[in-house]
């Protein structure tokens, strides 16, 4: 089986893309990677939340959205003629890539660099295919030779970067809150997926892994919506049979910035019976099974 | 206690999502996929008989007067330039077909003129149907064969080698025991029995003796350019002598596409002794044609009669036209005296 390029995308912000991305990437790296296998996280979101989880990021004063850029690379002094900063934006400018190491010794990160990513998106409609989509796809093909799993975090939009990610991916997951605007937002992202299915040959399909009900609360609106999409013909087969609840535990994992290891940073560092850990294992395990079949 | 009314997402949203899922899933299951590709990423298939002398390299680097095929290439270039301008103006109605080579490169399966015309017109991206790289070579050659059959003519040499190549892939993938029979040739080439006989005659000879045979060698050298003549030559008592006596007609290039209604396979019977302008059941067409004629000097005699005939009576309309023809014949005779 070839390398997997996993994209988590939504049209609407706040639906839990990044939370799912960090849970899934840490799950696969901790439980599923074999000896000698490596994984890469590429952050295409100028907000850089996924990058911040794994490596040190600093504020980017030139970003339109108050985004971040990576701190100096730990190997910066060893390489001459390099400014010591590498990011996902370099994929589009053709510069050499130096992924950052993380606490997980088999996971590296190509972090976001907010202002540079924002520049990449400022292309004309005519140029977007060649300058963004094709370049990204071509680089991913090369990276697949080195990484068994590539996780791509995106910003909530159907813009050039998100579309580039979808054009390069093997597996697409769409998390959604059980609320009206989030579910309506699925439609928009599905248009991008559908368009992409037209150009994929049968030996390189784009698999829609499914919709993950996310931030689910124990209240009637969420319960009703969840029950409804799980029962609707034509949709129910794509709704994952698991869900992620809204948990403070996940927020605490994200907030934890210490590298000491005393306070849990990864969900599998929580106690074995912790409901958050059990839920994350179950959800990520189900998603993993679907990706691998 | 009354049951709590459930909150619904709404049929509109659910319907839209469901339809999109269905369309995408159907597209996944369909074998032909579509993309708008960079022209620069597509190269020609070296094994497919070329319809044109001009190549992609000629277009990129320019033509050289030292090139022995310069005149033909120049003509082709002008035709393709015109075609390319039309594509630029109106868009390409039919996408080309390509096969992926991997690493963002593609081989052309069908659509050489569309590709080269687009290149000359400076069009950067071209719509293309994509075939999976694992697709059968037999299927690929079948597409190329039917594409060739519908577009420009092939030389007899290209027809023989093209069909032979298709036959070889058939042996390799479908039935290794298959003999070169008339029914098989009819199936592969999509032709009638007579044409299949001609193919069998030439292909059998090609298979047995290759280019050592004088008729096959003459085909390759484009000395015989009439397919029917070539097949008949093989069956003559003394093919070598017959080769020397080829007349000019047999050396003319066959101009019709393989499967056109005017091709030599369909034409039978004596030469026509008169011109027939065709028939129509459509009265409006007939009326418009006669009106147009009536407005010319040649058909001026029609004008006073146009309001007098019963346009529902097709025999009256026919007679009106025939009378004009007779008048024109008579006036031609009068002029010649």
pLDDT tens digit sequence for A9-20 = 998 888 889 999
The pLDDT of residue B131: 77
Contact A199 B35 (CB under 8 A): yes
The pLDDT of residue B250: 54
Query: Which range is least confidently modeled, A117-121, A286-290, B216-220?
Result: B216-220
DSSP codes, B175-225: -TT----HHHHHHHHT--HHHHHHHHHHHHHHHHHGGGSHHHHHHHTTS--
Mean pLDDT (chain A, rounded): 91
The pLDDT of residue B264: 43
The pLDDT of residue A54: 93
Both tokens assigned to B320: 């009106």
Helix, strand or coil, per DSSP, at residue B17: helix
Of A187, A225, A227, the CB nearest to B17: A187
Looking at beta carbons, which residues of chain B come within 8 Å of A235?
14, 17-18, 21
The pLDDT of residue B312: 85
Bigger pLDDT: A213 vs B266: A213
Looking at the complex, does the CB of residue A188 fall below 8 Å from at least one CB of chain B?
no
Looking at beta carbons, which residues of chain B come within 8 Å of A187?
13, 16-17, 20
> Of B213, B148, B138, B170, which is closest to residue B204 (Cα–Cα)?
B213
Residue with tokens 């849970």: A23
pLDDT greater than 80 at residue A90 = yes
The pLDDT of residue B332: 81
The pLDDT of residue A189: 93
C-beta of residue A112 within 8 angstroms of C-beta of residue A68:
yes
Contact B104 A220 (CB under 8 A): no
Looking at beta carbons, which residues of chain B come within 8 Å of A186?
17
Residues A11, A16, A206, B103: what is their CA dihedral angle, to the nearest 10 degrees?
A: 90
Q: Which helix (H) or strand (E) holds B60?
A: helix B56-61
C-beta of residue B96 within 8 angstroms of C-beta of residue B129:
yes
Whole-angstrom Cα distance, residue A218 to residue B329? 96
For residues A155-166, average pLDDT: 93
The pLDDT of residue B35: 84
Query: Which range is least confidently modeled, A33-37, A211-215, A259-263?
Result: A259-263
Intervals of chain B under pLDDT 50:
151, 252-267
The pLDDT of residue B258: 44
Mutate to test the interface with B, among A124, A186, A235 (most CBs of B within 10 A): A235
pLDDT in tens, A53-89: 999 999 999 998 889 999 999 988 888 888 899 999 9
Residues B10, B13, B18, B19: what is their CA dihedral angle, to the nearest 10 degrees?
A: 130
The pLDDT of residue B256: 40
Find residues 74-103 of chain A whose CB sits inside 8 Å of chain B. Answer: none
B125-131/B33-38 β-pairing: antiparallel
Give the number of other CB atoms < 10 A from CB of residue A220.
12
The pLDDT of residue B133: 58
Q: What are the Cα distances from residue A175, in Å, to A182, A212, A250, B42, B246?
A: 9, 4, 16, 38, 76
Backbone dihedral region for residue A215 (phi beyond 0: left; psi -120 to 50: alpha; all else: beta): left
Looking at beta carbons, which residues of chain B come within 8 Å of A201?
33, 100, 130-133
Whole-angstrom Cα distance, residue B219 to residue B203? 12
pLDDT greater than 60 at residue A45 = yes
């Amino acid at each position: 089986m070839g390398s997997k390029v996993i994209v988590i995308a939504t049209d609407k912000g706040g639906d839990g893309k990044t939370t799912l991305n960090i849970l899934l990437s840490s799950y696969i790296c901790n439980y599923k990677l074999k000896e000698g296998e490596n994984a890469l996280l590429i952050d295409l979101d100028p907000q850089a939340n996924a990058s911040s989880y794994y490596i040190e990021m600093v504020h980017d004063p030139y970003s339109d959205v108050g985004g971040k850029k990576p701190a100096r690379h730990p190997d910066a002094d060893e390489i001459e003629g390099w400014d010591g900063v590498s990011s996902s934006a370099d994929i589009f400018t053709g510069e050499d890539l130096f992924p950052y190491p993380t606490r997980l010794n088999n996971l590296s990160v190509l972090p976001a660099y907010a202002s540079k990513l924002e520049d990449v998106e400022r292309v004309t409609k005519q140029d977007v295919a060649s300058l963004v989509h094709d370049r990204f796809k071509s680089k991913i093909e090369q990276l697949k030779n080195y990484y068994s799993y590539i996780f791509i975090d995106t910003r909530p939009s159907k813009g050039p970067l998100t579309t580039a990610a979808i054009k390069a991916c093997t597996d697409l997951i769409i998390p959604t809150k059980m609320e009206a605007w989030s579910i309506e937002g699925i439609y928009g992202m599905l248009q991008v997926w559908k368009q992409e299915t037209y150009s994929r040959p049968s030996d390189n399909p784009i698999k829609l892994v499914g919709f993950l009900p996310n931030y689910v609360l124990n209240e009637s609106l969420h319960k009703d919506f969840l029950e409804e999409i799980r029962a609707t013909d034509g949709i129910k087969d794509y709704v994952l049979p698991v869900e992620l609840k809204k948990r403070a535990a996940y927020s605490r994992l994200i907030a934890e910035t210490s590298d000491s290891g005393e306070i849990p940073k990864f969900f599998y560092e929580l106690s074995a019976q912790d409901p958050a850990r059990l839920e994350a294992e179950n959800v990520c395990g189900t998603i993993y099974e679907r990706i691998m079949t | 206690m009354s049951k709590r009314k459930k909150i619904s997402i709404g049929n509109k949203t659910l319907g839209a999502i469901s339809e999109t899922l269905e369309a995408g899933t159907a597209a996944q299951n369909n074998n032909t996929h579509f993309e708008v590709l960079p022209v620069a990423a597509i190269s020609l298939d070296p094994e497919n008989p070329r319809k044109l002398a001009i190549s992609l390299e000629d277009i990129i680097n320019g033509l050289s007067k030292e090139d022995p095929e310069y005149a033909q290439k120049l003509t082709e270039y002008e035709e393709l330039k015109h075609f390319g301008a039309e594509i630029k103006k109106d868009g390409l109605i039919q996408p080309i077909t390509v096969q992926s080579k991997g690493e963002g490169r593609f081989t052309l399966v069908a659509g050489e003129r569309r590709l080269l015309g687009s290149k000359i017109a400076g069009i950067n991206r071209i719509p293309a149907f994509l075939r999976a790289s694992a697709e059968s070579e037999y299927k690929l050659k079948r597409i190329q064969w039917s594409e060739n059959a519908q577009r420009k003519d092939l030389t007899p040499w290209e027809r023989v080698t093209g069909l032979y190549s298709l036959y070889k892939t058939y042996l390799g993938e479908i039935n290794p025991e298959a003999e070169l029979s008339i029914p098989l040739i009819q199936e592969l080439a999509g032709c009638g029995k007579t044409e299949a006989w001609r193919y069998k005659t030439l292909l059998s000879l090609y298979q047995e003796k290759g280019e050592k045979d004088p008729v096959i060698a003459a085909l390759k050298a484009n000395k015989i350019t009439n397919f029917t003549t070539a097949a008949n030559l093989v069956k003559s008592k003394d093919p070598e002598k017959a080769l020397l006596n080829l007349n000019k007609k047999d050396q003319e290039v066959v101009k019709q596409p393989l499967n056109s209604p005017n091709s030599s396979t369909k034409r039978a019977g004596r030469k026509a002794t008169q011109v027939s302008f065709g028939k129509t059941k459509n009265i409006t067409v007939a009326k418009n044609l006669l009106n147009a004629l009536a407005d010319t000097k040649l058909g001026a005699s029609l004008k006073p009669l146009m309001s007098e005939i019963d346009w529902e009576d097709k025999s009256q309309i026919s007679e009106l036209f025939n009378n004009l023809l007779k008048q024109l014949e008579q006036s031609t005779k009068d002029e010649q005296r």
